[in-house]
Amino acid sequence: MLPSGRRYSLTASSSYPESLTLSSGASVSSFEASETEEWITTSDGYQLYTRVYRPVHRDPCAILVLVHGFGEHSDRYAPLCRRFTHVGVQVYTYDQRGYGKTGLRSKRPGHTYGFDTLTNDLSFICSRAYNANIPTVIFGHALGAVVALSYLTSPLHRLPVAGLICQASAMLTNTDLHPPKLAVSLGHLAAKVLKTLTISANVLPEYLTRDKRVVADFISSKYNYEIGSLQCLSDLLRRGSMLLDRKSLQLDCPVLITHGDNDLITPHAGSIQLFEKLPYDMDKELKIYRGCYHERK
């Protein structure tokens, strides 16, 4: 069923546009960027790994805050970030709690300390990235898209945001990957007591893409780990649906939603529902890419 509303397209393409993909085969040597890595401390004393990509030969025309997905880390997006700097976009990335370098330093990989904490962290990052003279756009992939939506619909959202990009949003998750319903229900209950207990998320790297180079890179990196604490997984299964259950989602910025219709991790039906949940008359666009997996072809 095709969604109602403005600017929907089903794109007969074997991959996402190059500007919105993680391509291990990309030649990034031609995309110069000034890159700064820094550990920053949140108000509750937690350390986050961050990396900022700045254009070299021009002043930035926009700021992009990039929020990665479940089980991965922000440095996977380096080729994409360097492409953005090539056209004058300054990019702020960070490893979310429980993942990447942040998760390893915390000694509790896979534990995110609750979804509200992830939303607080994004608010903190946005405040650091903000420049009153340059528009800010948030790019969220999968879990990162849900974190971004949670932030933009919360009282924490005080600074202006010029746009939101939701790629392969985790509004829904593939029920074929879930344990039996009884186990899921018990897991939600256990998450209230055994919050930090980590288990496998049962997501194979091959579900990301058909590109064997990207899969091999994902497997070889110690900063990717497909585990989550009971609290993290409980939040992941619930938060997207909670947003979709709202009567409407009021956002004060344009929204671009992209998804592959062969996504084996987060079904594209969730992005269609998200598009329909947004007000009819707002500036929104949905692009569904035929044959694409969670990240690309």
296 occurs within a structural domain: no
> For the whole model, what pTM was predicted?
0.91
CA–CA dist 23, 2 (Å, integer): 30
208 occurs within a structural domain: yes
Residue type, 197: L
Confidence (pLDDT) at 191: 86
295 occurs within a structural domain: no
93 occurs within a structural domain: yes
CA–CA dist 218, 222 (Å, integer): 9
Confidence (pLDDT) at 5: 47
Confidence (pLDDT) at 26: 44
1 occurs within a structural domain: no
Domain extent for 213: 8-289
Q: How many domains does the chain have?
A: 1
- Cβ partners under 8 Å of residue 104, min gap 6: 222, 223
CA–CA dist 217, 294 (Å, integer): 16
- Contact predicate 51/37, CB 8 Å: yes
Confidence (pLDDT) at 1: 45
Confidence (pLDDT) at 248: 80
CA–CA dist 257, 231 (Å, integer): 27
- Cβ partners under 8 Å of residue 14, min gap 6: 290, 291, 292, 297
297 occurs within a structural domain: no
Confidence (pLDDT) at 69: 97
3 occurs within a structural domain: no
34: its two tokens:
């000034």
Strands 47-55 and 89-94: antiparallel
294 occurs within a structural domain: no
Q: How many CA atoms lie within 13 A of 65 on its CB side?
A: 29
Confidence (pLDDT) at 297: 82
DSSP per-residue codes, 96-116: PTTSHHHHHHHT-TT--S-HH
Average pLDDT per block of 10 residues along the chain, 297 residues long: 52 53 48 89 96 93 98 96 95 98 94 96 98 98 98 95 98 86 79 89 92 95 94 93 90 97 96 95 96 91
- Contact predicate 20/258, CB 8 Å: yes
Cα-Cα end-to-end distance for the chain: 23
Q: Return the CATH number at 31.
A: 3.40.50.1820
